[in-house]
């Protein structure tokens, strides 16, 4: 999912993750580069993809490298866990050839056969719960409230709301979103 969306005013866009706003675009502007320029302290830790990579034991330096490399190669910001993981492992494979210390950025993790199945199931349940509507807890999150940028409800519950359940801002426009 690309984190920038149109805020409904001229060429103004907002970041879905950090709520930063950008406007007055030039034809040569690259959205993710402008975002990085104006919001250098943007915390990448809020995205589900980044959370999944951290659960896998991959440190923030490698995650930042992979996001930057993905954006450079594709010009897009709709990265997936698989795409970033591949970039990180390819990077570290290259470093291993040149340096025996390249793997120092990885945390030692248990082998899958040594992991506790109960812990894995609990983690899976928690990840699924985070994708559920905060109102009904049944349907998946799919509605974005454009004026405040929050995305925490399903379509059915969003239709019943006049105010955002997170920030209590009056909902002016709703967009149905899809994760790929």
Q: For the segment 135-156, what is each residue's pLDDT rounded down to a tens digit?
A: 999 999 899 888 788 888 999 9
pLDDT digits (tens, 9 = 90+) for 81-114: 888 888 887 776 555 433 344 444 444 455 555 5
Asked, for residue 35, whether it belongs to a domain, the answer is yes
Q: Are 136 and 105 in contact (CB under 8 A)?
A: no
CA distances from 141 to 27, 61, 177 (A): 34, 30, 9
pLDDT at 47: 73
Task: Give the domain range for residue 117.
Answer: 4-132
Mean pLDDT of the chain: 75
Rounded to whole angstroms, the Cα distance separating 28 from 112 reads: 46
Asked, for residue 167, whether it belongs to a domain, the answer is no
Total structural domains in the chain?
1
Rounded to whole angstroms, the Cα distance separating 157 from 101 reads: 51
Asked, for residue 152, whether it belongs to a domain, the answer is no
Asked, for residue 36, whether it belongs to a domain, the answer is yes
Asked, for residue 166, whether it belongs to a domain, the answer is no
**Alpha-carbon dihedral sign for residues 42, 46, 49, 51:** positive
């Amino acid at each position: 999912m690309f984190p920038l969306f149109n805020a409904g005013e001229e060429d103004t866009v907002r970041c879905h993750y950090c709520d930063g706003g950008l406007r007055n675009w030039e034809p040569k502007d690259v959205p993710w580069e402008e975002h990085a320029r104006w919001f250098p302290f943007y915390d990448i830790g809020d995205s589900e993809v980044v959370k999944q990579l951290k659960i896998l034991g991959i440190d923030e330096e490698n995650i930042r490298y992979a996001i930057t490399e993905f954006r450079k190669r594709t010009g897009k910001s709709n990265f997936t866990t698989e795409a970033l993981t591949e970039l990180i492992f390819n990077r570290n494979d290259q470093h291993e050839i040149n340096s025996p210390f390249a793997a120092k950025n990885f945390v030692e993790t248990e082998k899958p056969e040594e992991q506790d199945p109960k812990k894995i199931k609990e983690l899976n349940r928690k990840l699924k719960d985070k994708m559920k509507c905060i109102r009904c807890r049944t349907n998946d999150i799919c509605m974005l409230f454009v004026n405040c940028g929050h995305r925490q409800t399903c379509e059915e519950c969003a239709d019943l709301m006049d105010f955002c359940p997170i920030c209590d801002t009056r909902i002016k426009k709703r967009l149905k979103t899809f994760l790929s």
